[in-house]
Chain A
Amino acid sequence: MTDDSGRPRRPGGEGARISDDNTHARGQFFRGLRVSLPLAAGVAAYGLVFGVLARKAGLSIADVALMSGIVFTGSAQFVALTLWAASPPALALALATLAVNLRYVLMAAALRDLFQRTQRAAAFAAVFLVNDESWALTMGEVARGGANIAFMVGSSLVLYVAWLGSTVAGRVIGSAIGDPSRLGIDFAFTATFLALLMGMLRGKRDVLPWAISAAVAIAASLYLPGKWYILLGGLAGATAGALRRDA
């Protein structure tokens, strides 16, 4: 099941045979782009909301463009709006960003097999793009037996453009289409992660570790601020899964 041989196994019947590594990477890149287009619409809905709130919080158009462009992390950017002021507190904002995004340490570490054949500079550039949705799609692809870092880059670029464009548009226009949850867009993300998770289910032995991960995450989400619950639930579930494997 784990794929330690060099070439990823691809499910059959997917167009032309791919022989060369570069062609393979290009195919994965475009596949990542394509698969992410529907999610980009959901991301853009939240981007518009962010832009509108950013205007109220006193961010200029240039502030919004720069923040979306070089920070590129929805959850931390929303938190930043609550701390923003005429003279924004840089240290507090940096610490909040660090705390909200600590889960990315674990997520980027889990990508290491994909980064193995990537050159060092390219890997450090690509890791800037890591985001929840693209990471989840990429892990879903890994579970199916074929993935490449080009897939994550393609997926991330679509979401990057959607996020940057929609946050700036929301800031300029000053009004969003409405509450994304009214359109069910909030659940679209949950459904995406859940459906990808289904592809990772290997059988009964996953039940206990997944239940532990869920219980810890739910408990943490009730008592801790921000996104700590993702990190804690992930740590607990992975540890339970690894122990179970040994037993």
Chain B
Amino acid sequence: MTLESLTAILAMAIAAYAVRAGGLLIGRRLPQSGPVAEWLREVPAAILVAVVAPEIFRGGAAAMLGAAVTALVMWRSRNLFLAIGAGVLAVLGARYLMMGL
């Protein structure tokens, strides 16, 4: 390890910690009730939608089928791992069929 690479990795580590600790500090400063608190309560689901939607969009038909299967199995069973497993199998099956093998 050179001094340059050590410096670069330390700089990255500071940046990576800054965003996490920054979120913690901001969270503590924001009011505990009122519109801002209400807004913060909406954040988790909104972030998850924003993570998932582009992945499904980019993944095309196979990903859409996989998403539908995952959602359906999760809705019926309430079992996280069953839902993930069924979704992955559906995607693999769809990709396999679409590649015409």
Contacts and interface: CB of A to CB of B under 8 A. Distances in A.
Interface of A: 2, 35, 38, 59-60, 62-63, 66-67, 70-73, 76, 80, 84, 87-91, 93-95, 97-98, 101-112, 115, 123-124, 127-128, 130, 132, 136, 139-140, 142-143, 183-185, 187-201, 206, 209-210, 213-218, 220-221, 229-242, 245-246
Given A88-B4, A105-B26, A232-B50, A128 B43 contact: no
Interface residues of B, number: 68
A201 B92 CA distance: 27
Lowest 8 A-B CB distances belong to which pairs? A108-B23, A233-B50, A237-B46, A112-B27, A241-B42, A214-B53, A109-B27, A191-B87
Given A130-B20, A245-B38, A200 B44 contact: yes
Given A187-B59, A229-B50, A237-B49, A105 B16 contact: no
Given A60-B5, A127-B24, A230 B50 contact: yes
Interface string B68-101: 0011001100101101100111011001000000
Contacts of B88: 184-185, 187-188, 191
**From A60, A76, A194, A239, residue with most partner B Cβ within 10 Å:** A194
23 contacts: A38-B81, A63-B1, A67-B9, A71-B12, A76-B12, A105-B22, A106-B23, A110-B40, A115-B28, A130-B20, A187-B59, A188-B87, A190-B59, A194-B70, A200-B45, A216-B50, A221-B58, A234-B50, A238-B39, A240-B46, A241-B42, A241-B45, A242-B41
Classify the secondary structure of A's interface with B: helix
Nearest to B81: A38
B9 A217 contact: no
Contacts of A107: 23, 43, 47
Contacts of A35: 80
Most chain B CB neighbours (cut-off 10 Å) among A107, A189, A198: A198
B67 A190 contact: yes
Contacts of B53: 213-215, 217-218, 233
Interface of B: 1-2, 4-24, 26-28, 30, 35, 38-59, 63, 66-67, 70-71, 74-75, 78, 80-81, 83-84, 87-89, 91-92, 95
